[in-house]
Homo-oligomer: A and B are copies of this chain.
Amino acid sequence: MHMRAVSSVQDNDRFGAAACLGFGREVGHMLPVNAIQHLPAGELLFSEGDKADSVFEVLSGMVRLYKLLPDGRRQVTGFLTAGQLLGLAPEGACVFTADTVTEVSLVRYKRDAFDRLIDDVPGFARRLLAVTSHELHAAQDQMLLLGRKSASEKVASFLLMLPARLNVIDVPMTRGDIADYLGLTVETVSRTLTRLRQDGLIALPVPTRVQVLDRKGLENLASGDLGDLF
């Protein structure tokens, strides 16, 4: 069995809380598929504590994962895009909430069928393991960001982890989502973006679109190389 699809893990798992398998063509037909679902924006997929009996694969759109504190404080742990998996948890209950940022289409697999595949298909388990390990590393990067980076370093890091076409980044999530992903407030995210614009690192034609004007500068900022210039 060949390992073709594995390399794409590096490129797709930008947000650290999900997985890109690329298994669709190879094993997808072996899985009982409930149905392809189409959901509007702002739709709940499942809540923290729900019984975890499904594995989802995102086909298009963006899904948001988060955890809440009793008083409503929210930490977004990841954003999922096409190709990423959701609900791999072998434990009985979901440990986070998932809802849609944009319109989303996704496939739901039966969890027990998925589990059977792990034992039956050689190499499948190892690939899943590679995926979760990779997510774990992304999670550690996020811990470094949350625990030790300044607001501008966080925002710069965030922009660079979004996929860019010709240096133009699509930002479908709200400032509130970004804030809750970076451990900041809406106002600080907004102010920081304004600051990056004033400093010539980015342009903001509309709030949902960022143009990277100085990628090197952003990268230095994101990696904390600039000491305290910002």
Please list the residues of chain A having a beta carbon within 8 angstroms of any beta carbon in chain B: 17, 67, 69-71, 73-75, 77, 88-91, 95-96, 115, 118-119, 122-123, 125-126, 128-130, 132-137, 139-144, 146-149, 180, 182-183, 223-225, 227
Contacts and interface: CB of A to CB of B under 8 A. Distances in A.
Given A147-B75, A182-B147, A225-B70, A95 B135 contact: no
Nearest to A179: B147
A136 B13 CA distance: 14
6 contacts: A70-B225, A71-B227, A88-B133, A90-B133, A91-B137, A118-B129
Q: How many copies of the chain does the oligomer comprise?
A: 2
A89 B137 contact: yes
A224 B69 CA distance: 6
B75 A144 contact: yes
Contacts of A126: 90, 115, 118-119, 125
Given A75-B148, A122-B119, A139 B143 contact: yes
Contacts of A182: 147
Contacts of A183: 146-148
Contact of A67 (B90, B129, B140): B140
